[in-house]
Chains A and B, each alone.
Chain A
Amino acid sequence: MTRKSPNNRIERRKFLAGAAAGTVAAAVPLRFAHGQGQKLKVGVLLPRSGPQAQIGIDCQRGADCAPEVLKAKGYPEFEFVLGDTETKPEIARAQAEKMIGQGIHILVGCFDSGQTMAAAQVCEQKGIPFSVSIAAVPALTEQGYKTVFRNFPTGPMIAADSFNLQKALFQSTGKAPQTVVMLHVNDTFGMSQKDANVAGAPKFGMPYKFVDTIAYDPTARDLSAEVRKAKATNADMLWVISRLNDAILICQEMVKQRWEPMGILSSGPGWYDVPFMKALGKYGDDVVSTVPWHDPKKATSKALEAVFKKKFPDRELNTNHTYTFEGVMVAVDAFKRAGSTEPGKLIEALKKTDIKDNVVTGPGVKFNAKGQNADIKMSAIQNRGGKNLVIFPAEAAQAKPNWPMRPWGKRG
């Protein structure tokens, strides 16, 4: 069985565009060569349709800011080739093949672990470097891949950092909860997070014990019973693992039922999202979320935020934007240092990555032998007046924490 060279590809998009326009001339096979003097082609593979479409489209906003931000920082110009996983691993695989056929030099993506794993297999087979922007499954960098470089915390890193941030919060305020009740969505994400956190708390010597964990359907229209049940535990702290709509429902119910625990801690999306803060107003304040976030004090973060605000004035910079941006930044940085689009040279450059002036929290971007950036840190952010302010780690903090949270009746 013979193998086809990755350099010998027909550019199908141009071929089909020509066919659609009735021009046969466009159907000319093109050869792609990797080398010096070429513009870097960055493939951005995300779930742009299907159940994760909104997240994929959100991630793309971060990538859209990259050309302007990186150009201002002196990075070379590059172009994007976009791919859609349709929220399916098998399509992620096919799309990765397609994008490599379209001549991409490096792939960035994919948000979802399953889709990222599928694309990683193709990159490994083709020898194309893969800058993983968002995907937490540990196995990705445990498979011995030579072309995969992940600038996102793994699941265990996220869990460990979440506990460390909580400890910092409790120590700095002198207010530690003794009991915790957890409300969590009953989908894959919610169940895995719940299991990891409940099992991890004693290992990390947390001062509290879980008095109950209450699962619910993320599509539920009414969560009053679940909130009532959680309230009845009389726990000091509510820990939530939610999506957006259910986060709004839970918070509304807490206000209605006048349940005022010491604080609300979230370790998932929803509670820090702009629509949540808009829907809840002052009642959405003081919620603490532990998330992979950006360090707002870094120069590149400020530059990214400025460009982002210009392009998307109604939105706030979030994890999807910053990590996707940084995935592109890692790719372009490798290209700058390699001075070539040749995959082997890009991979060698990626191995030597050492970006200090990056965006996300932590000392910078540096990959270990497995291709994992092990230095990434999570952040604790708190909602304040429609903004997400970093409260921990101290070096990235924008504000001191409001903890315990203010009673519902004493807010503005």
Chain B
Amino acid sequence: MSDLTASGRAALIAFAALLLVLPWVVSSYVLSVAVICLYLAYVGQAWNLMLGFAGLLSIGHALFVGLGAYASGYLFAKYDVPPAIGIVAAVAIAMLMGAVIGYLGFRFAIGGVYFALLTIAFAEFVRILLEHAKFLGGTQGLFLPVSQESRRGVDLINLRGWPEMYYYVILALCLGAFVLCRALLESRVGYYWRAIRDNPEAAAAVGVDIFRFRMYAVVLSAGMTGAAGVFRAFYDNLLFPDQVLNIEKSIEITLAPIVGGVGTLFGPIFGAFVLTPLSELLTDVVEGLKDLGIIAKNVKTDGAKLLFWGLAVVLIVLFKPTGLWPWVCRRLGLVKAPGARS
């Protein structure tokens, strides 16, 4: 908060207040879009920890979502283990997988795009493995039992209840991730990560244990993403390997931080809240223009949203390669000095 200007503080408070009261003032559709935004913001924050903080590109992050989702979902479906306990196993498995990938990558000096390929390879490997794992439903999917009664009320232990409950759960996860990332960035670990990101050779030369701190980044990011998998499993109540772990999902995770600003704390949140609502709005505007007769009814506009996403990413990469958030901060004077740490 110290680096925010008065208007920055006001904007932050207004945004936080809006998020808190959102379920009471919007329709259930907007609420479900908000859940998607917060989910993307959360997993974006976890992914950003690797690339933005430690300079490690992962394009297989859906792997950790999938592991977390399947671990907690399976424990719940087969052994009635509530997600409040299942999350421990989910995060542990995701962290273990992160450690394996990190160890292989850093031990054998697989860097840059080759490290990214390694993450894709593991994600694909696990997806195919899950498709053949009959006890997890295989290609037929894993379905979490859900009753009519469990759709009402608030049961945080079993992650069952009103849609509003899920909203607040993912909001809390987002807030927790934000606070954790900020604390890490301010800590010795955060400085080491940024040193490694900016110049690993120089960091090593001054005594930073690159292997160790990179491992921290991968394992922590994997664990955070695994927790998102638990949310995903209990929000959707169904898991298909190709829908949870495919590469498209991994790319989706990267979009919010890229649009918002890789390496910034608020970038993933900003990116998620810009891309998703704007693309939803675009669909509505196109349909509205059709209703008004400005666009002919028979013009096929399916996929306009995806086109928008693609265009937005291309434009941002071309014209705002550091992301929108640092630029917005400067333009609106939300931070005292330009920087990537707001």
Chains A and B belong together in one complex: yes
Residues on A close to B: CB < 8 A?
1-4, 9-10, 12-14, 16-21, 48-50, 53, 56-57, 84, 86, 88-91, 93-94, 97-98, 100-101, 113-114, 117-118, 121, 124-126, 137, 139, 143-144, 146, 155, 187-189, 191-192, 195
| Of A19, A97, A117, A118, the contact of B28 (CB 8 Å cutoff) | A97
Find out whether the CB atom of A9 lies under 8 angstroms from the CB atom of B27: yes
Find out whether the CB atom of B32 lies under 8 angstroms from the CB atom of A93: yes
The 5 nearest A-B residue pairs measured at CB: A17-B288, A49-B303, A48-B302, A192-B139, A97-B29
Q: Say if the beta carbon of B296 comes within 8 Å of chain A.
A: no
Find out whether the CB atom of B131 lies under 8 angstroms from the CB atom of A118: no
> Smallest distance from the beta carbon of A345 to chain B beta carbons, Å?
19
| Of A21, A91, A192, the contact of B138 (CB 8 Å cutoff) | A192
| Of B24, B36, B146, the contact of A90 (CB 8 Å cutoff) | B36
Find out whether the CB atom of A137 lies under 8 angstroms from the CB atom of B288: no
Binds A, one of B83-91, B159-167, B254-262: B159-167
The complex places the Cα of A94 from the Cα of B40 at a distance, in Å, of 15
Other than the given A12-B284, A97-B29, 19 more pairs (CB < 8 A) read A9-B27, A13-B284, A13-B287, A16-B285, A16-B287, A17-B291, A19-B285, A19-B288, A50-B306, A53-B303, A89-B238, A100-B28, A100-B29, A101-B27, A118-B238, A143-B143, A143-B145, A146-B148, A188-B242
Find out whether the CB atom of B141 lies under 8 angstroms from the CB atom of A114: yes
Find out whether the CB atom of B29 lies under 8 angstroms from the CB atom of A12: yes
Q: Say if the beta carbon of B281 comes within 8 Å of chain A.
A: yes
Contact with A along B266-297 (1 / 0, CB 8 A): 00000000000000010111011101101000
Q: Say if the beta carbon of B212 comes within 8 Å of chain A.
A: no
Instruction: Report A-chain residues with C-beta under 8 Å of the C-beta of B302.
Output: 48-49, 53, 56-57, 84
Q: Which residues of chain B from 133 to 184 have a CB within 8 Å of any chain A CB?
A: 138-141, 143, 145-148, 151, 154, 162-165
The complex places the Cα of A137 from the Cα of B23 at a distance, in Å, of 32
The 13 sampled A-B contact pairs (Cβ below 8 Å) are A4-B27, A20-B285, A49-B305, A56-B302, A57-B300, A89-B236, A98-B29, A101-B28, A101-B29, A143-B145, A155-B140, A188-B242, A189-B139
Instruction: Report B-chain residues with C-beta under 8 Å of the C-beta of A56.
Output: 302
> Smallest distance from the beta carbon of A371 to chain B beta carbons, Å?
14
Secondary structure of the A contact surface, majority rule: helix
Q: Say if the beta carbon of B237 comes within 8 Å of chain A.
A: yes
> Smallest distance from the beta carbon of A278 to chain B beta carbons, Å?
23
Find out whether the CB atom of B131 lies under 8 angstroms from the CB atom of A191: yes
> Smallest distance from the beta carbon of B246 to chain A beta carbons, Å?
9
Nearest to B294 among chain A residues (CB) is A21
Instruction: Report A-chain residues with C-beta under 8 Å of the C-beta of B140.
Output: 137, 155, 192
Instruction: Report B-chain residues with C-beta under 8 Å of the C-beta of A189.
Output: 139
What is the count of residue pairs linking A and B with beta-carbon distances less than 8 angstroms? 133
Find out whether the CB atom of A18 lies under 8 angstroms from the CB atom of B288: yes
Find out whether the CB atom of A118 lies under 8 angstroms from the CB atom of B292: no
Secondary structure of the B contact surface, majority rule: helix
Interface size class of chain B, counting residues whose CB lies under 8 Å from the partner chain: 35 or more
Find out whether the CB atom of B32 lies under 8 angstroms from the CB atom of A191: no
Find out whether the CB atom of B141 lies under 8 angstroms from the CB atom of A113: yes
Nearest to A84 among chain B residues (CB) is B302
Find out whether the CB atom of A17 lies under 8 angstroms from the CB atom of B284: yes
Instruction: Report A-chain residues with C-beta under 8 Å of the C-beta of B292.
Output: 17, 21
Q: Say if the beta carbon of B199 comes within 8 Å of chain A.
A: no
Find out whether the CB atom of A117 lies under 8 angstroms from the CB atom of B306: no
| Of B145, B238, B306, the contact of A114 (CB 8 Å cutoff) | B238
Q: Say if the beta carbon of B243 comes within 8 Å of chain A.
A: yes
> Smallest distance from the beta carbon of A97 to chain B beta carbons, Å?
4
Find out whether the CB atom of A195 lies under 8 angstroms from the CB atom of B138: yes
Find out whether the CB atom of B303 lies under 8 angstroms from the CB atom of A20: no
Instruction: Report A-chain residues with C-beta under 8 Å of the C-beta of B154.
Output: 1
Instruction: Report B-chain residues with C-beta under 8 Å of the C-beta of A188.
Output: 131, 139, 240-242
Q: Say if the beta carbon of B78 comes within 8 Å of chain A.
A: no
Instruction: Report A-chain residues with C-beta under 8 Å of the C-beta of B284.
Output: 12-13, 16-17
Nearest to A102 among chain B residues (CB) is B29
The complex places the Cα of A271 from the Cα of B187 at a distance, in Å, of 61
Q: Say if the beta carbon of B340 comes within 8 Å of chain A.
A: no
Nearest to A51 among chain B residues (CB) is B248
Find out whether the CB atom of B33 lies under 8 angstroms from the CB atom of A1: no
> Smallest distance from the beta carbon of A7 to chain B beta carbons, Å?
12
The complex places the Cα of A13 from the Cα of B32 at a distance, in Å, of 17
The complex places the Cα of A89 from the Cα of B28 at a distance, in Å, of 16
Find out whether the CB atom of A114 lies under 8 angstroms from the CB atom of B240: yes
The complex places the Cα of A91 from the Cα of B305 at a distance, in Å, of 12
> Smallest distance from the beta carbon of B214 to chain A beta carbons, Å?
32
Find out whether the CB atom of B291 lies under 8 angstroms from the CB atom of A13: yes
The complex places the Cα of A191 from the Cα of B242 at a distance, in Å, of 12
Find out whether the CB atom of B147 lies under 8 angstroms from the CB atom of A144: yes
> Smallest distance from the beta carbon of B181 to chain A beta carbons, Å?
24
The complex places the Cα of A211 from the Cα of B189 at a distance, in Å, of 59
Q: Are A94 and B33 also in contact (CB < 8 A) when A17-B288, A89-B236, A139-B143 are?
A: yes
Q: Say if the beta carbon of B132 comes within 8 Å of chain A.
A: yes
Find out whether the CB atom of A97 lies under 8 angstroms from the CB atom of B288: no
> Smallest distance from the beta carbon of A139 to chain B beta carbons, Å?
4
Instruction: Report A-chain residues with C-beta under 8 Å of the C-beta of B23.
Output: 1
Q: Are A86 and B306 also in contact (CB < 8 A) when A114-B243, A139-B143, A188-B242 are?
A: yes
